[in-house]
Amino acid sequence: VSTQSTGSSGINAEYGKQWYQRRVRVSFNNPFVFKHISNLKNIDQFQDIGPSVVMASPGMLQSGLSRELFETWCPDPRNSVIIAGYCVEGTLAKMIMSEPEEIVSVTGQRLPLKCSVNYISFSAHTDYNQTSEFLMLLKPAHIILVHGEQSEMQRLRTALKREYEDTPDPAEIFAPANNEEIVLNFRGEKMAKIVGRLAAKKPKAGDKISGVLVKRGFNYHIVSPDELEHYTDLKQGVVLQKQTIPFTAPFSLLHHCLQQLAGTVEQSEKSSRSCLKVFDSVTVQQEHNKISIEWEGSE
């Protein structure tokens, strides 16, 4: 019994030594344990006492930590800023890429821009070659470009049309403006029976009929949305979506900006509060130090 006990104790000691060595080795070799990188939650934690590299957001320098650091460092020619992604027109990041002599801070102060400005694309979006190859594999009959600046979408549309022009059945390519209607024509004819209120008047050739297309087996029916309950098991519903955003600037300034974006903006009052109607579907209402945005999500 004594011999077995000694042997067991020796094995446990050796195993413990090996286990400890493995733990120590992992802690030193773990690639996710960074010696010179730390998480910076706010600018108050940052000690600006020597050379450093800070990766901060938002990338367009509109607000937040990146804007605070940039305004602190931009007057010093020893500093540098690298824009690492796409920048929308009108943002500070887009403006400094043209290297102006000065910028306007969040508080309205004019600051000299003496630091160097560089751009390196780390965008996760596909480039033209990837997008083109993807479309060539799919061979869609219709392509609708809906994301991006209007000028860039038109450039992409022109390039895609040039690439598709030699194919047997070139695709239709659209780059619509906001709220612009697009009509898509598909091959193949299907017969649908008009029922309910829509059938009260016999349509003529060329008339447009608006309703819900319902398929039952191999038969198609066109029904007015408010008569769905009479002819189907479906019910009509409306999803009203609402988003609240902090806003302390004058409401007239918001009205002006929305007019630049959408053109005609209707102004009214609701519960003694100013309201704006944008695109005939989105309601913007002024509240205390914030605005609410409401729209119908679906019908």
Report the catalytic residues. Answer: 125
Question: CA-based angle 64:65:69, to the nearest 5?
Answer: 125
Beta partners for 214? 221
| CA–CA dist 131, 164 (Å, integer) | 13
Strand, coil or helix: 199: helix
Q: How many CA within 13 A on the CB side of residue 204?
A: 0
Neighbours of 82 (CB within 10 A): 12
How big is the CA angle at 154 (ends 280 and 296), to the nearest 5 degrees?
Answer: 20
Tell me how far apart the terminal alpha carbons of the chain are, to the nearest angstrom: 83
Rounded distance between C-alpha atoms, residue 235 and residue 214, angstroms: 13
34 by DSSP, 3-state: which? coil
Task: Name the nearest CA neighbour of 261 among 279, 244, 245, 274.
Answer: 279
Rounded-to-integer distance, Cα 232 and Cα 249, Å: 50
Number of neighbours of residue 135 by Cβ within 10 angstroms: 16
Q: In angstroms, rounded to a whole number, what is the distance separating the alpha carbons of residues 295 and 47? A: 46
**Three-state DSSP string of 231-290:** HCCCCCCCEEEEEEEECCCCHHHHHHHHHHHHCCEEEEEECCEEEEEECCCEEEEEECCE
